[in-house]
Amino acid sequence: MVNLDWNNLGFEYVKTDFRFVAHYKDGTWSSGDLIEDNQIALHEASPALHYGQQCFEGLKAYRWKDGSINLFRPEENAKRLQESCHRLFMPPVPVDLFLHACTQVVKANAKWVGPYGSGATFYLRPLVLGVGKGLGLRPAPEYMFVVFGSPVGSYFQGGMRPANFIVSEFDRAAPKGTGAVKVGGNYAASLLPGKLAKEQGFSDCVYLDPATHTKIEEVGGANFFAISKKEVFVTPASPSILPSITRRSLVYLAKENLGLEVVEGDVFIDALKDYSEAGVCGTAAVIVPVGGISYQGHLHVFNQEKAGPITQKLYETLVGMQLGDLRAPQGWITRVV
């Protein structure tokens, strides 16, 4: 293992040894290779650069107590990348190529996957880019699929420390736009609202549904859930939020492991008093309790700004499975080494 301050990593890029690159040309994907160079040279007229014809994924490899390295539900990321490619008129990356690339990158960079118990994980960032000359508005003539990885720690301020959010005046996505796919444009659109939220002391902003601005959608890089006073796990159902794999896992765990009722429906911003706990969830975020949400000048606080008991239990169950300390449902874990 390389020498890093494993217990104190944030979410910053660290250059590792190898990345994987495959090319799409004349109707087929190449089998791809591991390379060492972390710079990508692109034609200046590449549609990825002008028209945002690009999409990406995020998933993690985890070091278990037995020294093995494992991925969490990578097929789900492969399928979601295909959805993103489809929406942006790009050739989908075959699931097998996606899994092969992620596996190769983890194996080749195994010394960058931090020790069990340190809190560090290895974040994989698959990308698909529309490349080649294309000045007019049309799909790229060629594509690149890249997977690189970086050791990471906490995305928000640290582990299960509650974070506060503010409702944004901006929309992140349109009702029938690209909110449900993982495309760079959604994130570019969230930079200014995110910066404004941070300037006011919040971790990020909460977006409301773009059609009516009455319901919570998600935050800039994670889905939202809340626990009602009747102990129902509620998480927004909307065509303009990213279908989070972490949230899908929590829906399952809330039902099957915690025995909770689950509702995928509406969380109205003016009905927060109905909820005793709230949290955000995602690959980078894991689970972060929501301490409070500021809306129209008022901070609504959940559980006295402390991690709630159900949020805590969900976190322990999810992370326990990701780190191999609890048995995960069939098919959730892919062993790499």
Part of the chain binding ligand COI (CB under 6 A), chosen from 81-89, 142-150, 269-277, 279-287: 279-287
Q: Does the protein bind ligand COI through residue 221 (CB under 6 A)?
A: yes
CB of 109 or CB of 186, closer to ligand PLP? 186
First to last CA, the chain: 14
Q: How many CB atoms lie within 10 A of CB 77?
A: 24
Which residues participate in catalysis according to the annotation? 182
Closest CA to 236 of 249, 217, 251: 217
Q: Where are the beta strands (DSSP E) in 64-193?
A: 69-72, 121-131, 142-152, 163-167
CA distance 323 to 233: 24
Could you say which of 53, 164, 240, 246 contacts ligand PLP (CB under 6 A)? Answer: 246
Q: Which residues pair with 64 in a beta bridge?
A: none
Q: Does the protein bind ligand COI through residue 151 (CB under 6 A)?
A: no
CB of 146 or CB of 260, closer to ligand COI? 146
Q: What is the number of H-type helices and E-type strands within the chain? A: 7, 18
Site track for ligand PLP across 53-72, x = CB under 6 A:
-----x--------------
Under 8 Å between Cβ of 95 and 78: yes
CB of 142 or CB of 204, closer to ligand PLP? 204
Q: Does the protein bind ligand COI through residue 82 (CB under 6 A)?
A: no
Could you say which of 54, 84, 109, 283 contacts ligand COI (CB under 6 A)? Answer: 283
CB of 229 or CB of 265, closer to ligand PLP? 265
DSSP per residue, 285-308: TEEEEEEEEEETTEEEESGGGS--
Applying CB under 6 A, the residues found at the interface with ligand PLP are 58, 218, 221-223, 242, 244-247, 282-283
Residues of the shown chain interacting with ligand COI in the complex, contacts defined by CB under 6 A: 58, 221, 282-285
